[in-house]
């Protein structure tokens, strides 16, 4: 079977590589010429455990191909997945321009039956727009060719994306066509051989399921952060509370960790987009508005802890930052709390020594981009990207941990204590033991 995947980002590349691994002949398409050229040379644009190997192997076996021209493969393939970005507009709604560009291109060039499957996260009603867009192009050409659309939201998580795609908890498919159902059943069966868990539903429900899933997870995070902040005030320990409630089977232990807020490319934009969809439909999603508000404030929690100790003016202070990626095992820094706190520290006059095992190149590029923005008064030359955690902590007045990379879990605290100017550790992911850190002579504070 031959398929095309349009948009070769986190979702498109992982999906393409995994389908190829199952024996499907896949062409990944992207308008980013550099990305495609690099992929053909074996250079992977993102860090994702296991991905490089699977891409390389399937490219060599000629099951995985890369092109910038959808037209080259369009009429050789029946099924086309669209995994282009849906970034937020100014008002929080999802920007559908890339999704509709793909539909337009398909409608203008198809000569035989197509099933267009939207994998991107899109608001309810998008499949209808996609269908209309294809139809308009066919009408312009004065021809009639059968086609179907389907919604197949993707639930993979960055950092474990290959495993998630290869063994999904479930696959959600929204479609109104028997033929689409058959084609997608055929494509997903190899992933779910022993326990077929493709949930077929109507298209609006499939589109909504993705937003509801991300919003639920974001809600758990903000809920725990809110409880953590209250724990600090009243003298309770949120780690104990988490254990206490997580053992209740109705609640479950996952996604109950307090920290410095959620970031990444999905939760922030998807929560905003769902709030916007509700507003457009005359409904206020008050719970999600609060989830967003709590998260916005939580991202600054470590900065506020420093202000409490040092005041607003941090000139002459050096802050070590451990972890820049929004979570471990990815180089994704979109909406990462570390980057947002970094900005605040620089504005307050502090110097920064930052380390991340993978996300330094992405962070450097981000700071270079910000430095070129007009009216940006921040002095990014005060950020030093360190060689390792020890280099970052050297002569620092405080150490802030943002990402729970495994290699941060058991540092040699005696070495760090000697090299820091002031042994203050603020743990934004609660990975260290409070009593142990105190015993080692650190002024230590976690979240909650
Ligand atoms: P991304 O930004 O990494 O990749 C999108 C790619 O689409 C880019 O490479 C871009 O050049 C390409 N593109 C844009 N217009 C194109 C066109 N007309 N033709 C060909 N290529 C085009 O995005 P991503 O993180 O992979 O996310 C894609 C979608 O999947 C989004 O809707 C996102 O919300 C959703 N999603 C993302 C994740 C995740 O963990 N990143 C998980 C689940 C769902």
Q: Are 406 and 325 spatial neighbours (Cβ–Cβ below 8 Å)?
A: no
Structure tokens at 413: 């605290």
Q: Which of 4, 9, 328 to mutate to test the pocket of ligand 1 (most atoms within 8 A of CB)?
A: 9
Output Rg (C-alpha) for the chain, integer angstroms: 24
Q: How far apart are CA 319 and CA 175, in angstroms?
A: 52
One DSSP character per residue, 119-180 reads -S---TTHHHHHHHHHHHHHHHHT----EEEEE------TTSHHHHHHS-S-EEEEES-HHH
- Residue with CA at minimum distance from ligand 1 atom 11: 32
DSSP 8-state assignment for residue 205? H
**What pLDDT, on a 0 to 100 scale, did the predictor assign at position 377?**
79
Asked if 323 and 405 count as a contact pair (C-beta separation under 8 A), the reply is: yes
- The confidence score (pLDDT) of residue 203 equals 98
| pLDDT score of 33 | 98
CB distance 94 to ligand 1 below 6 Å: no
Ligand 1 center–CA 403 separation, angstroms: 24
pLDDT at 125: 96
Cα(131)–Cα(109) distance, integer angstroms: 15
Q: How far is CA 355 from CA 57, 112, 395, in A?
A: 32, 52, 14
User: How close are the terminal C-alpha atoms of the chain, in Å?
Assistant: 52
- Ligand 1 near 85 CB (within 6 A): yes
Q: Identify the three-state secondary structure at position 171.
A: strand
CB neighbourhood size of 269 (10 A): 23
Q: What is the DSSP letter of 3?
A: E
Q: Which two tokens stand for residue 21?
A: 């691994």
Active site residues: 266
The closest alpha carbon to 13, from 52, 57, 62, 63, belongs to 52
- The CA distance from 447 to 219, in Å, is 17
Q: For 21, what's the count of Cα atoms within 13 Å in the CB-facing half-sphere? A: 22
Q: How many CB atoms lie within 10 A of CB 398?
A: 26
What pLDDT does residue 134 have?
Answer: 98
**Best CA proximity match to 379, nearest among 407, 352, 401, 361:** 352
**Residue with structure tokens 């976690």?**
446
Answer whether 329's CB lies under 8 Å from 396's CB: no
pLDDT 10s per residue in the chain (448 long)? 999 999 999 999 999 999 999 999 999 999 999 999 999 999 999 999 999 999 999 999 999 999 999 999 999 999 999 999 999 999 999 999 999 999 999 999 999 999 999 999 999 999 999 999 999 999 999 999 999 999 999 999 999 999 999 999 999 999 999 999 999 999 999 998 888 899 999 999 999 999 999 999 999 999 999 999 999 999 999 999 999 999 999 999 999 999 999 999 899 999 999 999 999 999 999 999 999 999 999 999 999 999 999 999 999 999 999 999 999 999 999 999 999 999 999 999 999 999 999 999 999 999 999 998 877 778 899 999 999 999 999 999 999 999 999 999 999 999 999 999 999 999 999 999 999 999 999 999 999 9
CB distance 120 to ligand 1 below 6 Å: yes
> For residue 178, what pLDDT is reported?
97
The candidate with the shortest Cα–Cα distance to 386, out of 376, 378, 394, is: 394
Question: How does strand 318-322 pair with strand 351-355?
Answer: parallel
Give bridge partners of residue 116 from the DSSP assignment. 80, 149
pLDDT at position 294: 98
Which DSSP symbol is given to 76?
Answer: T
Of 13, 29, 30, the residue with max ligand 1 atoms within 8 A of its CB, to mutate for a pocket test, comes to 30
């Amino acid at each position: 079977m031959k398929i095309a995947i349009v948009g070769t980002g986190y979702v498109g590349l992982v999906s393409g590589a995994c389908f190829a691994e199952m024996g499907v002949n896949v062409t990944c398409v992207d308008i980013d010429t550099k990305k495609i050229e690099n992929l053909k040379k074996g250079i992977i644009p993102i860090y994702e455990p296991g991905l490089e190997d699977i891409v390389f192997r399937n490219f060599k076996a000629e099951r995985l191909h890369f092109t910038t021209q959808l037209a080259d493969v369009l009429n050789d393939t029946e099924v086309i997945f669209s995994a282009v970005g849906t970034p937020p507009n100014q008002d929080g709604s999802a920007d559908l321009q890339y999704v509709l560009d793909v539909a337009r291109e398909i409608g203008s060039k198809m000569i035989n039956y197509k099933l267009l499957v939207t994998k991107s996260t899109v608001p309810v009603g998008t499949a209808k727009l996609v269908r209309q867009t294809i139809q308009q192009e066919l009408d312009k050409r004065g021809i009639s060719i059968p086609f179907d659309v389907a919604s197949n939201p993707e639930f993979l998580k960055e950092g474990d994306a290959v495993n998630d795609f290869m063994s999904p908890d479930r696959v959600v498919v929204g479609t109104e066509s028997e033929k689409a159902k058959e084609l997608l059943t055929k494509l997903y069966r190899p992933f779910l051989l022993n326990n077929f868990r493709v949930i077929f539903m109507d298209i609006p429900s499939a589109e909504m399921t993705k937003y509801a899933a991300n919003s639920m997870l974001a809600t758990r995070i903000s809920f725990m952060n809110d409880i953590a902040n209250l724990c600090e005030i009243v003298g309770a320990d949120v780690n104990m509370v988490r254990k206490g409630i997580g053992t209740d089977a109705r609640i479950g232990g996952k996604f109950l960790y307090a920290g410095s807020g959620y970031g990444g490319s999905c939760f922030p934009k998807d929560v905003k987009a769902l709030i916007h969809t509700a507003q457009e439909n005359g409904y206020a999603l008050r719970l999600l508005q609060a989830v967003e508000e709590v998260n916005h404030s939580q991202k600054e929690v470590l900065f506020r802890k420093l202000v409490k100790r040092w005041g607003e003016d941090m000139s002459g202070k050096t802050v070590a930052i451990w972890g820049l990626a929004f979570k471990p095992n990815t180089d994704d820094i979109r909406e990462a709390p570390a980057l947002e706190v970094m900005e605040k520290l620089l504005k307050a006059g502090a110097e920064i020594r930052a380390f991340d095992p993978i996300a330094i190149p992405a962070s450097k590029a981000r700071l270079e981009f910000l430095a070129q923005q007009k009216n940006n008064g921040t002095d990014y030359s005060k950020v030093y990207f360190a060689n390792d955690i020890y280099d970052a902590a050297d002569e620092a007045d405080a150490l802030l941990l943002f990402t729970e990379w495994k290699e941060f879990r058991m540092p040699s605290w005696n070495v760090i204590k000697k090299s820091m100017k002031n042994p203050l550790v603020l743990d934004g992911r609660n990975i260290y033991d409070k009593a142990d850190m105190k015993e080692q002579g650190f002024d230590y504070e976690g979240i909650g």
